[in-house]
Amino acid sequence: MLRRIDKVLLEQENNLLKNDLDADYAALGEKLARSDVDIELLTQAAGKFQIAVPSWGTGTGGTRFARFPGEGEPRNIWEKLEDCAVINELSGCTDSVSPHFPWDKVSDFSELKEKADAYGIKWVSVNSNTFQDQTGQTASYKYGSLSNTQKASRELAIAHNLDCIEYGQKLGAKSLTVWVGDGSNHPGQQHFQRAFERYLASMEEIYKGLPDDWEMHIEHKMFEPAFYSTIIQDWGSNILAAMQLGPKCKSLVDLGHHAPNTNIEMIVSRLIQFKKLGGFHFNDSKYGDDDLDSGSLHPYQQFLIFNELVDAEYRQQEAFGPAYMLDQSHNVTDPAESLINSAIEVQRSYVKALIVDREKLYGYQDENDALMASLELKNAFNLDVSPILAMARLRKGAAIDPLAVYRKSNYRENMAKERPRDPNATGSGIV
């Protein structure tokens, strides 16, 4: 497999930490064994856990006020792929990339696929972009795309989504994620019902173009870029659309797209129950769609979401198999570092959720023993599973301490030399 981080450096660094890791792992294993939890099963599960990286997340993000790009940023999908390979080599849990079109469009997709294959990277979850006008575009998305009152804009948006499916097929992807910014800034600007009817009619056209083994995922979002109403404003509109469109259409949850105080884990449960959970965009947030690093503000909420996911696995819930993906904007950090760390934080939530004794929990729930039920979750969360995550990485040839290796490799400094800044670089600063 093609590598971008020097293997010798990686192994040197791992060797420095291995003894301590073994000690911590043994101590944790003993502790877990007292509760009849086999640490090896957790480490295996951790090793299998994978979360996709968004191609556009590899560049420095920004806000409407400004973007402060860093040195050595990737300027196109080829370079983004390089960074994604680095992230996976070090984290061991990000073996796929989600592309965004037209930003990531290339003339020869087979070449792109080959390059990714060489790195051991798969392509997943194709994203369409109908929230920006591209140069020379024949109709505008200023007043909406799939729900625009103008047929020309709707048709353009439909065609673009069908193109995305085609590109995705060439790359081996199996799903299309549709997020539109359609909405309004003024009461009265849009007729809510008619706009939704137009959206559904457009989506039906796209659904028809979906290959048999593909899924289509609808992403809801409360606001931004529209600031009064948004067409798929919440999971309610999302699931109703998904139900109307058919079994290959499901709902996707971005953690930052909800109203303040929303109980997101409950929405996840509802989507699971109604067989419509398609996937996730992981990130963290405090105010709106802040797109901060996963688990950096609300690690317990992220754990509670995985509690629902692991519970559905445990119950062998029908039609359950969501896609996991990061979707973040890295405005003040090196995007590669944030993506490595975020992927591991999501993996951490997953492993902690596996520790919960589900039968015990069900017992407390049945008896309405609220405190013991809550402690069954909280005790799992309070455990430090870092040794499990590190061991899983070590066994996969990744880094015990990924950030330390990354910094020692001088990857970004090297890229700064190789990649002079390009004003035509695409797709950074937007998430």
**Structure tokens that stand for 290 in this block:** 């802040």
CB of 382 or CB of 414, closer to its own copies: 382
Q: Which of 214, 300, 314, 320 binds its own copies (CB under 8 A)?
A: 300
24 binds its own copies (CB under 8 A): yes
User: What is the SS3 assignment for 318?
Assistant: coil
CB of 225 or CB of 397, closer to its own copies: 225
Site string for its own copies, 197-236 (x = CB under 8 A): x------------------------xxxx-xxx---xxxx
CB of 23 or CB of 118, closer to its own copies: 23
Q: Which residues ranging from 69 to 128 are in contact with its own copies (CB under 8 A)? A: none
Question: How many CB atoms lie under 10 A from the CB of residue 350?
Answer: 25
Q: Which residues ranging from 45 to 64 are in contact with its own copies (CB under 8 A)? A: 62-64
CB of 95 or CB of 345, closer to its own copies: 345
Q: Which residues ranging from 365 to 424 are in contact with its own copies (CB under 8 A)? A: 365-368, 370-378, 381-384, 386, 403
Q: Which of 270, 275, 396, 408 binds its own copies (CB under 8 A)?
A: 270
Residue at 160: amino acid letter = H
Give me the least distance between CB of 257 and its own copies, in Å please: 11
* Pairs from 229-232 (Cβ < 8 Å, separation ≥ 24): 229/183, 229/184, 229/190, 229/192, 230/181, 230/182, 230/183, 231/144, 231/146, 231/147, 231/180, 231/182, 231/183, 231/195, 231/196, 231/199, 232/180, 232/199
CA–CA gap between residue 52 and residue 343 (Å, rounded)? 8
Q: Which of 203, 267, 309, 326 binds its own copies (CB under 8 A)?
A: 267
Question: Does an H or E element contain 177, and which?
Answer: strand 175-178
CA distances from 399 to 52, 245, 306, 337 (A): 18, 44, 24, 13
Give me the least distance between CB of 221 and its own copies, in Å please: 11
- Backbone φ, ψ for residue 53 (5° rounding): -105, 135
CB of 145 or CB of 175, closer to its own copies: 145
266 binds its own copies (CB under 8 A): yes
With residues binned 3-state (H G I as helix, E B as strand, rest as coil), the percentages for the chain, rounded to 5, are 50, 10, 40
8 binds its own copies (CB under 8 A): no
Give me the least distance between CB of 398 and its own copies, in Å please: 18
294 binds its own copies (CB under 8 A): no
* Dihedral angle over CA of 294, 297, 302, 304, nearest 10: 180
CA distances from 397 to 1, 6, 98, 159, 391 (A): 12, 12, 23, 42, 10
CA–CA gap between residue 112 and residue 106 (Å, rounded)? 8
| Binding residue count for its own copies, defined by CB under 8 A | 113
CA–CA gap between residue 251 and residue 322 (Å, rounded)? 10
Burial (0-12, 13-18, 19+ Cβ within 10 Å), 174 = middle
Q: Which of 1, 16, 20, 41 binds its own copies (CB under 8 A)?
A: 20
Binding region for its own copies (CB under 8 A) out of 7-15, 85-93, 265-273, 410-418:
265-273
Q: Which residues ranging from 143 to 162 are in contact with its own copies (CB under 8 A)? A: 143, 149-150
**Structure tokens that stand for 29 in this block:** 């294993």
Give me the least distance between CB of 24 and its own copies, in Å please: 6
Task: Report the helix count and the strand count for the chain, using DSSP H and E.
Answer: 15, 11
Give me the least distance between CB of 161 and its own copies, in Å please: 17
Give me the least distance between CB of 140 and its own copies, in Å please: 7
190 binds its own copies (CB under 8 A): yes
Give me the least distance between CB of 133 and its own copies, in Å please: 6
Give me the least distance between CB of 68 and its own copies, in Å please: 4
